[in-house]
Amino acid sequence: MPRFGPAGIPTITKPKDVIKGIEDVNKLGLDLMELEFVYSVWIQNNEKGLKRAEEIKKKSEELDVLLTAHAPYFINLASPDEKKVKASIQRIVDCARASYWVGARYVVTHLGYYGKLSKEEAYEVIKKNLEEAVQIIQDRGYKVYISPETLGKVSQFGSLEEVVSLCEEVDGLWPTIDFAHLHARTGGGYKDKAAYEKTLDYIEEHLGSEVVRKLHIHFSGIEYNEKGEKKHIILRHADISFRDLAEVLVDMGLNEVTIVSESPILEQDALYMKQIYEEVLKEKGIKK
């Protein structure tokens, strides 16, 4: 059975505390939570930070809530400013350290913008800088996957092909496939099952059966225009259907994927997706 959960602490959690968020995820019947380091790596590299991380890890293991993490937004490995590149590498490394401490498996990462570079030039620059970050992470023994994310704006590095190619060429990576972002980036290209089948087949062809079987997925509704993503919206208001993806996942037997809700109503849409998936199983006569 896939794992479902919110991107961050559930909206119902009061006060906004990570451990209470994990408890609420479990009470809701979900089993996944993404830790948000998007504005800062708030688990600091000191004894106090390590203690906090150990508390979070203990609670997640106790309640069987799988943790993933999202690295800071302020990362641009294609920047012409060397200081910004070095700072970006450091943010990825810091997030990998914090993620390893809490037991998070994937560190979801935005990689940058094309800027004045061609797409081919941006790819080579980003690949080189990402290899440097991954080497530091491996040298320090942080056993996590850096997980480049497919992104929704056409100005951002992060097409399906770019993410898959990086994961093919750089050790220590695992893709995060955000289908809402791909939908926006392609101008509404994910309105039927065939689009999902084609994408999953492409990933399997290039990265192998284990990656597609344990694929890390982000999903939500999304508004978009000719430039791509505008904003995430709730699923019921969107022109993208999770049922299409659920049916493809069931048909392909991909029951170990992890699915993070990036909807404004985080845990509500995580539960909605789980409900849809279970309905598909029931319709096809498959037990959970």
175-198 pLDDT, tens digit each: 999 999 999 999 999 999 999 999
59-112 pLDDT, tens digit each: 999 999 999 999 999 999 999 999 999 999 999 999 999 999 999 999 999 999
23-45 pLDDT, tens digit each: 999 999 999 999 999 999 999 99
Q: Are strands 228-233 and 221-225 parallel, antiparallel or unpaired?
A: antiparallel
Measured CA to CA in angstroms, residue 7 lies from 47, 102, 171, 265, 273 at distances of 27, 16, 26, 10, 14
Which residues have CB under 8 Å from 56's CB, separation 6+?
18, 19, 22, 35, 43, 67, 102
List 32's β-bridge partners, or say none: 66
**Predicted confidence (pLDDT) at residue 49 exceeds the cutoff of 80:** yes
200-220 pLDDT, tens digit each: 999 999 999 999 999 999 999
Which residues have CB under 8 Å from 128's CB, separation 6+?
none
- Average pLDDT value for the chain: 98
List 278's β-bridge partners, or say none: none
Please give the Cα distance from 167 to 146 (Å, whole number).
9
Give the residue-averaged pLDDT of 121-125: 98
**Predicted confidence (pLDDT) at residue 15 exceeds the cutoff of 80:** yes
- Concatenate the DSSP letters of all residues of 20-89 into one string: HHHHHHHHTT--EEEEE-SS---S-SSHHHHHHHHHHHHHHHHTT-EEEEE--S---TT-S-HHHHHHHH
Give the residue-averaged pLDDT of 229-256: 97
**Predicted confidence (pLDDT) at residue 262 exceeds the cutoff of 80:** yes
pLDDT category, 287, cuts 50, 70, 90?
A: confident
124-175 pLDDT, tens digit each: 999 999 999 999 999 999 999 999 999 999 999 999 999 999 999 999 999 9
Q: Report pLDDT for 288.
A: 75
pTM exceeds 0.85: yes
Overall fold of domain 3-283: TIM Barrel (3.20.20)
Give the DSSP letter of residue 181: H
Q: Among 195, 124, 183, which Cα is nearest to 153's?
A: 183
Domain ranges of the chain: 3-283
- Report the C-alpha dihedral over residues 254, 29, 63, 44, rounded to 10 degrees: 80
The label of the residue with tokens 């480049």 reads 148
Q: Within 175-257, where are the H helices?
A: 179-185, 193-207, 209-213, 242-251
